[in-house]
Amino acid sequence: MVGRTCGRLPQTPTSLARRAIELLGAEAPIDAVVPKVGARMRSPLIRAHSCGAPLPANSLFYIDDDIAVCRMPAVLVQLARGSTPVELARIAYEMTGTYGFEAGNRSDVIQDLRPLLDLGELKGYARSCCATGTRGSRIASDALRCVVPNSNSPRETDVAIILMMPRSVGGFDLPGFAMNPTIRLSSHLEAIVGSDTLTPDFYWPDKKVILEYESEKYHRTPAAMNRDERRRRAFESEGYRVMRLMNDVLKTNDELNSFMTQLAQALGIYRRPASQRMLDRRRQLREELFGPVSEETAKHEMEHPYTGPVI
């Protein structure tokens, strides 16, 4: 019959991209990686990359007959070629953390999820790519050294990054903590706290030091403050030292330096004072993670500079 087409029409890169966007609930353009430059697909809906990294077995998951999604370890190495260390670390924290975002709205955080994958898988793939000289693999490996699994919020992630990053690039280099581990309480505290376990945000088991991040959104109501105080007393009665990191501290350079120096002392870590170069890089890192200081705060820090010890 004239005008009738039998069988399946060939799929163009644009039609494939449009189907992938619909199936994944993603936004255009999507990223597509091919093994050779000449195999790049040309379409306004596709951001094409080439990468010669090894692709382990079972790395591709087909969501349609012609569309596959790659496992995250390969994605992280590919992203390393165009991301800052902080951006890459944030992505790895999301991959190994217990939080996610509502589709199309990163302000709506979903917590207490299962991690998407194990940190060891990310590190193992990055190491194998380093052995083959894959571009971006060294950057990915360096970023993964700053990642601790089981973060339960974006803000916890940013605090963990500045705790883990070396002092030479603006961090405080205070590793050794677990994020959101389960600590079992003595039986006599269960009735007081209302639970036989507690889950601190950051925990250094060797030092029995706990760091609790307290946001304005979830910790400033009377009920939340009462709950947090019961948690603190429960932890301290079990022999833990508890330090509370308020959101306001993250918004100033001087207060953050002072707080982290006290934390280092609680951990029994004593170092030479930070150099001016370290402090300058720390200001940049703090601003990238937590935003710029207010004009009022900047003026106060200039007129009344912090003179205490700074690690």
Are the C-beta atoms of residues 196 and 185 closer than 8 Å to each other?
Answer: yes
What distance, in Å, lies between the first and last C-alpha atoms of the chain?
81
The 3-state DSSP class for residue 43 equals: coil
Q: Which CATH number fits domain 154-311: 3.30.1390.20, 3.40.960.10, 3.40.50.720, 3.30.300.30?
A: 3.40.960.10
The 3-state DSSP class for residue 243 equals: strand
Q: In degrees rounded to 5, what are phi and psi of residue 240? A: -90, 145
Task: State pLDDT tens for residues 129-147.
Answer: 898 888 889 999 999 999 9
pLDDT over threshold 70, residue 6: no
For residues 84-89, give the mean pLDDT. Answer: 94
The domain segmentation of the chain, as residue ranges, is 30-152, 154-311
Helices (H), ranges, the chain: 13-24, 72-79, 85-96, 119-131, 137-144, 154-164, 187-193, 216-219, 222-237, 253-266, 276-290, 295-303
Count of helix runs (H) and strand runs (E) in the chain: 12, 12
Please state, in angstroms and rounded to a whole number, the distance separating the CA atoms of residues 116 and 178: 18
pLDDT band (50, 70, 90) for residue 51: low
Q: In degrees rounded to 5, what are phi and psi of residue 284? A: -65, -45
pTM of the model: 0.85
Please state, in angstroms and rounded to a whole number, the distance separating the CA atoms of residues 164 and 173: 5
Q: What's the pLDDT score for residue 217?
A: 60
For residues 115-124, give the mean pLDDT. Answer: 94
Dig out the tokens for 148 from the structure: 């601790």
Please state, in angstroms and rounded to a whole number, the distance separating the CA atoms of residues 140 and 292: 27
Q: Where is average pLDDT lowest: 185-189, 219-223, 290-294?
A: 219-223
pLDDT band (50, 70, 90) for residue 1: very low
pLDDT band (50, 70, 90) for residue 3: low
